[in-house]
Amino acid sequence: MSIIQAIIIAIIEGITEFLPVSSTGHMIIASSLMGISGDDFTKIFEIAIQLGAILSVVVLYWRKFFDFAKWQFYVKLLIAVIPALLLGKLFSDAIDDLLESPTTVAVALLAGGIVLLFIDRLFKSHTVAEEKDISYGSAFIIGVWQCLAMIPGVSRSASSIIGGMQQKLTRTLAAEFSFYLAVPTMLAATAYKLFLKKYPASGGEIRGYELVFNSSSNTAAFIVGNIVAFIVAILAIKFFISYLQKHGFKLFGIYRIIVGVLLLVMIYAGYLK
| pLDDT, tens digit, 9 for 90 and up, residues 57-93 | 999 999 889 988 889 999 999 999 999 888 876 666 6
Exposed/middle/buried for 109, CB within 10 Å: 0-12, 13-18, 19+? Answer: buried
CA pair distance 156, 159, nearest whole angstrom: 5
Closest CA to 149 of 9, 20, 13: 20
Note the pLDDT tens digit of each residue in 118-127. 887 888 778 8
pLDDT of residue 231: 94
DSSP-derived 3-state class of residue 52 = helix
DSSP per-residue string spanning 142-172: HHHHHGGGGSTTS-HHHHHHHHHHHTTB-HH
- List, for the chain, all residue ranges whose pLDDT scores fall below the cut of 70: 38, 89-100, 201-203, 272-273
Helices (H), 171-215: 171-191, 208-212
* Total of domains in the chain: 1
Closest CA to 193 of 80, 98, 93, 84: 93
Check: CB of residue 177 under 8 Å from CB of residue 160: yes
pLDDT of residue 98: 57
Full domain range(s) for residue 205: 3-269
pLDDT of residue 9: 93
pLDDT of residue 232: 95
Which neighbouring-strand residues pair with 242? none
Report DSSP state, residue 128. B
